[in-house]
Amino acid sequence: MAKRFFLIVLDSFGVGELPDASLWHDEGSNTLGAIRSHPNFNCPELKAMGLFNIDGVGGGVPSPKASYAKMAEKSMGKDTTIGHWEIAGVISPEPLPTYPNGFPEELIKEFEQKTGRRVICNKPYSGTEVIKDYGREQVETGALIVYTSADSVFQVAAHEDVVPVEELYRDCGIAREMLAPPHNVGRVIARPFNGEYPYTRTSNRHDFSLVPPSDTMLNLLQKAGYDTISVGKIYDIFAGSGISESNRTVSNTHGMQVTKELQARDFNGLCFVNLVDFDMKYGHRNDVAGYAAAATEFDGFLSGFVKEMREDDVLLITADHGCDPATPSTDHSREYTPMLIYGQKIKSGVNLGVRPSFADISATVLDFFGVPQENTSGKSFLGEIKK
């Protein structure tokens, strides 16, 4: 009989600062805490599952439908790439490089020479603000806006009428090839925009990630003959490694729609989903109201999704880092993440405590499918919750 495991990452849905948050200047960060009291937040299904029963969250229900845990990040970072790699069983003991003062001049000159276009900006910047401040110059000159953030990213923005999307992707591919150690940034991101000033970012964003340094649960599942289906930017985060089918999305709403369509389909393996709007549209823009509304939309989807789960299906909901929209910072925050796991053959109400690594998720997924962990990290908790 086919086995299906749905792993949904609510991008940046943290549940409180990690003990080492001060190393990242993230003391006091709590993404869930920032949104749960907002009038737009109405998540009865997540509450019934046990979201508020997680250690330290508060406000739980007497008999949660799911089992639950608080996940600590063992890797040295708080970005999308490192967080997802750890979920998939690869711990990063060293942080990926960041550039608080912009990229070295020699790198920028090489990029200009290889793309044939001048570079402007080259500073840490908000993605919406950078096109306000540099968009006109980009449109007038055809230069590429290069910027970064507190994360390990090399971002390239251009107006679609000035630099066609395919050319922008080509330029980002050039950057990806250039950025070798010690400048091996986690992601090169194409950030096209369009319209008239102050311009609007389009849905044609594309991430060019590093290939994980070793096999992840995706590679191991694929080698064992299981389907590995990605939804959203999962394919980009893993540079396609270990993924048998990719489904790109343009929003949380679209991602949930695609996931619902996959639920109605027969497959045998893992469906790995990333819902990026929590992070991209709301966390990074300090939009508490929007973040709370997005959580409510997901809760509505979740209520319908669990009703259609098959007898052997398992659903696991987690996050990859935090991005507290109520702090002055617009960057990711070093936080614990939630873990809810549910299915007809999964015990309800088991508190799995504080897990030492996101990688315990990978170990549990592999255990579910009977696939050896090999060199991946983490400790399975399936034995504690399987009926």
Rounded-to-integer distance, Cα 381 and Cα 364, Å? 6
Comparing CA positions, the residue from 86, 191, 110 lying closest to residue 148 is 191
Instruction: Judge whether 20 and 26 are in contact, CB under 8 Å.
Output: no
Comparing CA positions, the residue from 215, 206, 116 lying closest to residue 156 is 206
Give the number of domains in the chain: 2
Rounded-to-integer distance, Cα 160 and Cα 139, Å? 9
Question: 290 Cβ partners below 8 Å, 6+ apart?
Answer: 40, 281, 282, 325
pLDDT the model gives residue 381 = 98
10 Å Cβ neighbour count for 67?
Answer: 25
Which of 189, 209, 229 terminates a domain? The answer is 209
Is pLDDT at 260 greater than 70 in this prediction?
yes
Q: Range of 139's domain?
A: 105-209
In terms of domains, do 299 and 216 share one? yes
Q: What is the DSSP letter of 11?
A: T
Is residue 21, in this structure, part of any structural domain at all?
yes
Rounded-to-integer distance, Cα 193 and Cα 215, Å? 35
In terms of domains, do 70 and 140 share one? no
Instruction: Judge whether 262 and 313 are in contact, CB under 8 Å.
Output: no
In terms of domains, do 250 and 353 share one? yes
In terms of domains, do 81 and 223 share one? yes
In terms of domains, do 165 and 267 share one? no
In terms of domains, do 157 and 241 share one? no
CA torsion sign for 368, 263, 350, 34 is positive
**Among residues of the chain, what percentage have pLDDT more than 70?**
100
pLDDT in tens, 289-318: 999 999 999 999 999 999 999 999 999 999
CATH number at residue 159: 3.30.70.1250
Rounded-to-integer distance, Cα 32 and Cα 296, Å? 12
* Strand duo 351-355 + 4-10: pairing: unpaired
Comparing CA positions, the residue from 39, 15, 43, 40 lying closest to residue 29 is 15
pLDDT in tens, 92-137: 999 999 999 999 999 999 999 999 999 999 999 999 999 999 999 9
Average pLDDT of the chain is 97
What are the backbone angles phi and psi of residue 204, rounded to the nearest 5°? -90, 20
pLDDT in tens, 2-17: 899 999 999 999 999 9
Residue 193 in tokens: 């925009």
CATH number at residue 219: 3.40.720.10
Is residue 372, in this structure, part of any structural domain at all?
yes
What is the amino acid identity at position 26? D
What pairs with residue 147 in β-bridges?
123, 155
Is residue 333, in this structure, part of any structural domain at all?
yes
**Among residues of the chain, what percentage have pLDDT more than 90?**
98
User: What integer is the mean pLDDT of 189-213?
Assistant: 94
Rounded-to-integer distance, Cα 349 and Cα 64, Å? 5
Residue 152 in tokens: 């390990």
In terms of domains, do 222 and 311 share one? yes
In terms of domains, do 170 and 139 share one? yes
pLDDT in tens, 25-83: 999 999 999 999 999 999 999 999 999 999 999 999 999 999 999 999 999 999 999 99
pLDDT the model gives residue 1 = 64
Which of 169, 185, 209 terminates a domain? The answer is 209
pLDDT the model gives residue 2 = 80
State the angle between helix axes of 288-307 and 252-263 in degrees (0 to 180), rounded to the nearest 10.
Answer: 10
Question: 177 Cβ partners below 8 Å, 6+ apart?
Answer: none
In terms of domains, do 49 and 170 share one? no
Instruction: Judge whether 205 and 213 are in contact, CB under 8 Å.
Output: no
In terms of domains, do 310 and 360 share one? yes
pLDDT in tens, 167-178: 999 999 999 999
User: What integer is the mean pLDDT of 337-366?
Assistant: 98
**How far lies 161's CA from each of 113, 139, 312, in Å?**
22, 8, 49
In terms of domains, do 286 and 256 share one? yes
Is residue 100, in this structure, part of any structural domain at all?
no
Is pLDDT at 258 greater than 90 in this prediction?
yes
Instruction: Judge whether 88 and 212 are in contact, CB under 8 Å.
Output: yes
Is residue 331, in this structure, part of any structural domain at all?
yes
What pairs with residue 342 in β-bridges?
315
Which of 155, 190, 209 terminates a domain? The answer is 209
Radius of gyration of the CA atoms of the chain, in A? 20
Given pLDDT bands bounded at 50, 70 and 90, which one contains residue 151?
A: confident
Is residue 99, in this structure, part of any structural domain at all?
no
Given pLDDT bands bounded at 50, 70 and 90, which one contains residue 150?
A: confident
In terms of domains, do 202 and 216 share one? no
User: What integer is the mean pLDDT of 188-215?
Assistant: 95
What pairs with residue 273 in β-bridges?
8, 231
